[in-house]
Amino acid sequence: MYAIKFMTALSLVSLSFAAPVQYGSGSLQHRSDLDLQSRAFTGIEICELPARGDVQAGCLANPVRFTLANNALTAAPAGAQPANTECDHSLELQVLKQALNGNGACTALNKILDAGGIKTSATKEALLKPLFDAVNAQKNVVFLDKAVNAEKRLVVQHALGDGVKRPASTALTAVKAYLANTSIKSATTALATSLDSLASTMITNAANQANAALDAKAAKAATARQKSAITTGKTDVTAGKALFKPATGVSSSWTKVLTYAAGCP
């Protein structure tokens, strides 16, 4: 709480030193900043920001590991990383990405921050951080056999894409067992719900920050043109919020994945 207030105070301070104040042009100044960051990064991006955390430590700390033994998914004991495994996000980053694109969260976030003149990669990162932390948390990362993980990626792609069933295989059977495992299923389902609530909070916080920035500008607005730019900004913040449709999100995407997998041969 204190940290949030402190951050807001800081951003207000930096705003008041930003000279000259150019209403409506702040977003353009900051966009190249975001673009540069995007170009430098080759991994998965969510709302144009790198989303994959360093998950190796989480996988090592997680007592659960899944290997393939005698062609079947097998729970291996805790210890070093088993051979032929990868550190897998049980609920895939791809699922979070598609959900936030699908329900307008990323578009809404950009529009809100643009409207407030506060669209920098630092602001966006801070707002997205709770979501990235949750999806990269130890509870969501587990060592999984490489071939099974490769099949799992395809399962997710088809589940959220064309819906075409994957052909029967050892790897597919293992993916189905993995997703149906009680502990994986309950952890990922809970995470999906929590990510949806974090996304709603993110949009609310973004709108609050954008409105606070506009209020700070309003206090110093001298000309009619400046005042009108602030009114427009506030209208745009509201319009930005409306682009977010929280009814669809990670939970509905994840349910789709689980249902699709259960229906595969």
Ligand X SMILES: *[C@@H]1O[C@H](CO)[C@@H](O)[C@H](O)[C@H]1NC(C)=O
Which residues of the chain form contacts with ligand X (CB under 6 A)? 64, 75, 181-183
Nearer to ligand X, 57 or 75 (CB): 75
Nearer to ligand X, 170 or 232 (CB): 170
In the complex, least distance from residue 187 CB atom to ligand X, rounded to whole angstroms: 10
Nearer to ligand X, 70 or 182 (CB): 182
3-state DSSP assignment of residue 85:
strand
In the complex, least distance from residue 64 CB atom to ligand X, rounded to whole angstroms: 4
Residue 225: CB atoms within 10 Å? 9
In the complex, least distance from residue 5 CB atom to ligand X, rounded to whole angstroms: 42
Burial label, 39 (beta-carbon count in 10 A; 0-12, 13-18, 19+): exposed
Asked whether the bond before 20 is cis by omega within 30 degrees of 0, the reply is yes
In the complex, least distance from residue 232 CB atom to ligand X, rounded to whole angstroms: 54
Nearer to ligand X, 20 or 77 (CB): 77
Structure-token pair, residue 81: 């990383």
Structure-token pair, residue 105: 């969260």
In the complex, least distance from residue 60 CB atom to ligand X, rounded to whole angstroms: 15
Distance CA 102, CA 244 (A): 9
Q: Which residues contact 211 (CB under 8 A, 6 or more apart)?
A: 116, 234, 237
Structure-token pair, residue 24: 């409506």
Measure CA 227 to chain center.
Answer: 35
Nearer to ligand X, 183 or 259 (CB): 183
